[in-house]
Amino acid sequence: MSRLMRFLLNGALRTSAGLAIISVLAGCAGGADKPKPTELGPNAALINVRLAWNTRIGPVSLPLDVKVNAASVTLASSDGTVVALDGASGQDLWRASAGSAIAAGAGTDGRYAAVVTRDNDLVVMEQGRPLWREPLGAAVFTSPLVAGARVFVSGADRSISAFDAQTGRRLWNYTRPGEQALALRQAGVLLAVGDTLVGGMSGRLIGLDPRTGAVRWDVAIANPRGTNDVERLVDLVGSVSREGDVVCARAFQAAVGCVNAARGNLLWSKPANGSEGVHGDASSVFGAEGDGRVTAWRRSDGERSWTSERLKYRGLSAPLSIGRSVAVGDAQGYVHFLSREDGSPMGRMPTDGSAIATAPVLVGNTLVVVTRNGGVFGFRPD
């Protein structure tokens, strides 16, 4: 099956800026030939994990990013709810409304929280209190980054803008010229590494000066190929794996690679056919391919350490490296724990039966996952 046939284009939306936004389901989505999810065997239960708490937000259809800050997590639902939770108890620290449906969020530094609405408004709150709202020139699907009293926004038009977190004043805007007019309705890459702002632009990582927006370096993880705009789509997708100055990321349906963000040089790039982000540790990078294979790449050189086919066609999320296991969610609402050493099953936990909406995160000793139905679950090892 061609790469083009692996996409489900839900009525491409063309913005006023001439940008076509497409929604994509990885793998052979839809149709009579969709493979059946691999049946699950008995729960291995080699690790003892229990449900510590459970709470709810609204339904999650946005490309959610769950932000961890100290002992709390901040997240958002499609209906406009923004909430900060205590990671140990699951209790609300605060809960607020963005005033309209949310397209991307949430970003936070623990004081300020930022989301982008479907009306393309950047909304910033301070401890749950609405602070300011600023219209943007393009759709946004990547959670804003809040750092250094600034809010950074990566637009689907492949622009990056900086705003003063207190006042909302726009400080600068960077746009990479000559980009294709097709983008994913999916979270991209935006993070701080030392004093460098690192963002994804098509298949490239770009290092910017966060004070001015000046380019410090520009490195390709994957280059566009193919005969049409869809086949040439290689946007970098979140989440990423960062260890020190090294950032490893996935280029959509093209490659996984690692970049030294201090020096601005490519360490390695390997072909890979997935649509969700990666995670890792000091020795490995983990990711789920479009067909549900879970793969470990050596962080040093990108060679494959192992591949597990036990979760094929189960609609996997981006993973989380946690202790001696790799946690990954599936479209049936299970959280699977695989051995970090060889990918063998170590256990699984159910949620509410709806798909896991984003990569699991770790808050202290609590693993937090969010489902499409708005369930928020905190799991903890005994």
| Residue 177, Cβ density class (10 Å: 0-12 exposed, 13-18 middle, ≥19 buried) | exposed
**Is residue 23 a part of any domain in this protein?**
no
Residue 3: per-residue pLDDT: 37
Structure tokens at 57: 């937000």
**Is residue 291 a part of any domain in this protein?**
no
Residues 113 and 211 in one domain: no
Residues 172 and 109 in one domain: yes
pLDDT single digits (tens) 110-141: 999 999 999 999 999 999 999 999 999 999 99
Last residue of one domain, picked from the residues 226, 245, 274: 274
Residues 210 and 167 in one domain: no
Residue 24: per-residue pLDDT: 55
Residue 26: per-residue pLDDT: 42
Type of residue numbered 352: D
CATH of the domain at 148: 2.130.10.10
Residues 194 and 144 in one domain: no
Residues 75 and 173 in one domain: yes
ω into 318 cis (within 30 of 0): no
Residues 231 and 144 in one domain: no
Structural domain harbouring 146: 64-185
Residues 105 and 204 in one domain: no
pLDDT single digits (tens) 55-66: 999 999 999 999
| Residue 334, Cβ density class (10 Å: 0-12 exposed, 13-18 middle, ≥19 buried) | buried
Last residue of one domain, picked from the residues 118, 150, 185: 185
**Is residue 195 a part of any domain in this protein?**
yes
Residue 22: per-residue pLDDT: 61
Query: pTM of this prediction?
Result: 0.92
How big is the chain, counted in residues? 382
Residues 109 and 130 in one domain: yes
Residue 20: per-residue pLDDT: 64
**Is residue 234 a part of any domain in this protein?**
yes
**Is residue 210 a part of any domain in this protein?**
yes
Residue 48: per-residue pLDDT: 93
Structure tokens at 257: 């690679």
Segments of the chain scoring below 70 in pLDDT:
1-32, 178-181
**Is residue 50 a part of any domain in this protein?**
no
Sheet of 20-22, strands arranged across: 13-14, 20-22, 182-184
Alpha-carbon span 287 to 277, nearest angstrom: 7
Residues 181 and 69 in one domain: yes
Residues 124 and 157 in one domain: yes
Residue 176: per-residue pLDDT: 84
Structure tokens at 93: 């620290």
Last residue of one domain, picked from the residues 146, 167, 185: 185
Q: How many domains does the chain have?
A: 2
CATH of the domain at 252: 2.40.128.630
Alpha-carbon span 27 to 315, nearest angstrom: 8
Residues 137 and 201 in one domain: no
**Is residue 256 a part of any domain in this protein?**
yes
Residues 211 and 258 in one domain: yes
**Is residue 315 a part of any domain in this protein?**
no
HEC-encoded secondary structure of 237-306:
EEEEEEECCEEEEEECCCEEEEEECCCCEEEEEEECCCCCCEEECCCEEEEECCCCCEEEEECCCCCEEE
